[in-house]
Amino acid sequence: MPDISGFSGFVENTAIEHSIHIVSELLEILLDNNVLELKLAEVEGDALFMFTEDNLEFLQLKEQISKMLNAFRKHLHRYQHQRICNCGACSTAIDLKIKFLVHYGRLDFIKVKQIRKPYGKDVNRIHRLLKNDVPIDEYFLLSNPCLEQFKINPETSGFQKLEGQYDIKILPYYYKDLATYKTDFKEKASKEPRIGVDKKAEVVVEREIAVPINEVFELVSNFKYRQQWDKSLTEIHYDETQVNRIGSHHTCIIGNKTMNFETIGDNELVAEQVYAENTASLPLTNDYKFYILLDKVNETTTRIKVLNYVELDWLGRFFKKRVYQKISLNWNKKLKALEMLALRKLNPE
Domain ranges of the chain: 2-181, 203-346
pLDDT > 90? residue 331: yes
Q: What does pLDDT average to over the chain?
A: 90
Tell me the fold of 203-346: Alpha-D-Glucose-1,6-Bisphosphate; Chain A, domain 4 (3.30.530)
User: What is the pTM for the complete model shown?
Assistant: 0.85
* pLDDT(227) > 80: yes
- pLDDT at position 197: 47
Looking at the DSSP bridge assignments, the partners of residue 40 are: 50
Give the mean model confidence (pLDDT) for residues 323-336. 96
Instruction: State the average pLDDT over residues 174-201.
Output: 71
Binning pLDDT at 50, 70 and 90, where does residue 187 land?
A: low
Structure confidence at residue 306 as a pLDDT band (50, 70, 90)? very high
In this structure, what are the phi and psi dihedrals at residue 5, rounded to the nearest 5 degrees?
-80, 140
Q: What is the pLDDT of residues 103-135, one digit of tens each?
A: 999 999 998 888 888 899 999 999 999 989 999
Residue 192's pLDDT is 47
pLDDT at residue 159 is higher than 70: yes
Lowest mean pLDDT among 12-21, 298-307, 311-320: 12-21
Question: How many helices (DSSP H) and strands (DSSP E) are in the chain?
Answer: 11, 16
- Give the neighbor-by-neighbor strand order of the sheet with 160-166: 39-44, 47-51, 2-5, 97-102, 139-143, 169-177, 160-166
Cα separation, 284 vs 76, in Å, equals 39
Q: What pLDDT is stored for residue 200 in this prediction?
A: 87
DSSP 70: H
* Mean of pLDDT values over 20-39: 95
- pLDDT, one tens digit per residue, over 232-273 is 999 999 999 899 999 999 999 999 999 999 999 876 788 999
Contact, 298 vs 210, CB < 8 A? Answer: no
Facing residues of 294 across strands?
273, 304
Contact (CB, 8 A) for 341 and 211: no
Q: What is the pLDDT of residues 49-75, one digit of tens each?
A: 999 999 999 999 999 999 999 999 999
Same fold, 2-181 and 203-346: no
- CATH topology assigned to domain 2-181: Alpha-Beta Plaits (3.30.70)
Query: Please, which pLDDT band fits residue 14 given cuts at 50, 70 and 90?
Result: low
Q: Comparing C-alpha atoms, which of 243, 244, 276, 249 is closest to residue 261?
A: 249
CB contact at 8 A, 87 and 15 = yes
What pLDDT is stored for residue 322 in this prediction? 96
